[in-house]
């Protein structure tokens, strides 16, 4: 069984994906980490992010064991990820890993931007999670404060708006809801309410 969860930056899709996976005993993959890690590896190799050859090499050689690197968290890593995520060869190189991950028994939950549309168009359940940019910036701000990382609400809102624009307007696999996705607007819902609503969708 495959559950695809897509949505814009800081919409709560990662939290939801982890909770569903824990609830069902499924594997879980935050596919944003793949793009964050490719950008990290390009820079570690001293290439520029717009160097397609270096980006493709980094995507092909990506070691999934390095996805828990704390350096992949935060605003700069997310921005760099959305720059290299526009490169078609990078997306193509990461596709098979994601599809193989999705096929694992007893099931898998993948969250990202194009899971229901491109990576797993035949997913059993597709959920598209949204919230207003202001609410998403407020949540990111709380996360940053909890980790003791300096970032203003205004800067986080600006980042969310620019990343949404970049992710939605790119030519390949843009951020989009699959036609058969069920939408959850989390603007006024806390994590427990979002989880409860997803569990209702899955049990239907």
The region of 9-17, 41-49, 126-134, 189-197 touching ligand CDP under the rule CB under 6 A is 9-17
Give the interface size with ligand CDP as a residue count (CB under 6 A): 16
Sheet arrangement for strand 182-185: 27-30, 108-112, 2-6, 125-130, 182-185
Q: Is the dihedral of CA 95, 130, 26, 30 positive or negative?
A: positive
The interface with ligand CDP within residues 61-100 (CB under 6 A) comprises 78, 81-82, 85
Q: Would you call 4 helix, strand, or coil by DSSP?
A: strand
The answer to whether 36 contacts ligand CDP (rule: CB under 6 A) is yes
The answer to whether 135 contacts ligand CDP (rule: CB under 6 A) is no
The answer to whether 113 contacts ligand CDP (rule: CB under 6 A) is yes
The region of 7-15, 18-26, 147-155, 188-196 touching ligand CDP under the rule CB under 6 A is 7-15
Contact 32, 115 (CB under 8 A): no
The answer to whether 32 contacts ligand CDP (rule: CB under 6 A) is yes
Cis ω for the linkage preceding 170 (within 30 of 0):
no
Binding mask 153-182 for ligand CDP (x = CB under 6 A): ----------x---x---------------
The answer to whether 41 contacts ligand CDP (rule: CB under 6 A) is no
| CA–CA separation, 16 and 116 (whole Å) | 15
Of 152, 157, 180, 183, which Cα lies nearest the Cα of 13? Answer: 183
Q: Would you call 180 helix, strand, or coil by DSSP?
A: coil
The residues of the shown chain that bind ligand CDP, judged by CB under 6 A, are 9-10, 14, 31-32, 35-36, 78, 81-82, 85, 112-114, 163, 167
């Amino acid at each position: 069984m495959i559950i695809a969860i897509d949505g814009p930056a800081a919409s709560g899709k990662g939290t939801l994906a982890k909770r569903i996976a824990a609830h069902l005993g499924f594997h879980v993959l935050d596919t944003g980490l793949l793009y964050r890690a490719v950008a990290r590896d390009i820079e570690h190799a001293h290439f520029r992010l717009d160097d397609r050859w270096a980006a493709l090499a980094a995507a092909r050689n990506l070691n999934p064991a390095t996805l828990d690197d704390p350096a992949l968290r935060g605003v700069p890593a997310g921005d760099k990820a959305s720059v290299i995520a526009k490169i078609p060869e990078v997306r193509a190189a990461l596709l098979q890993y994601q599809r193989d991950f999705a096929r694992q028994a007893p099931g898998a939950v993948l969250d990202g931007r194009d899971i229901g549309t491109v990576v797993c168009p035949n997913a059993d359940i597709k959920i598209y999670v949204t919230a207003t940019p202001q609410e998403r910036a407020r949540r990111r701000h709380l996360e940053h404060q909890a980790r003791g990382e300096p970032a203003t609400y205004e800067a986080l809102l600006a980042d969310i708006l620019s990343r949404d624009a970049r992710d939605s307007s790119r030519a390949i696999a843009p951020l989009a809801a699959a036609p058969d996705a069920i939408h959850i607007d989390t603007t006024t819902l806390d994590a427990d309410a979002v989880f409860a609503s997803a569990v209702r969708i899955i049990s239907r």
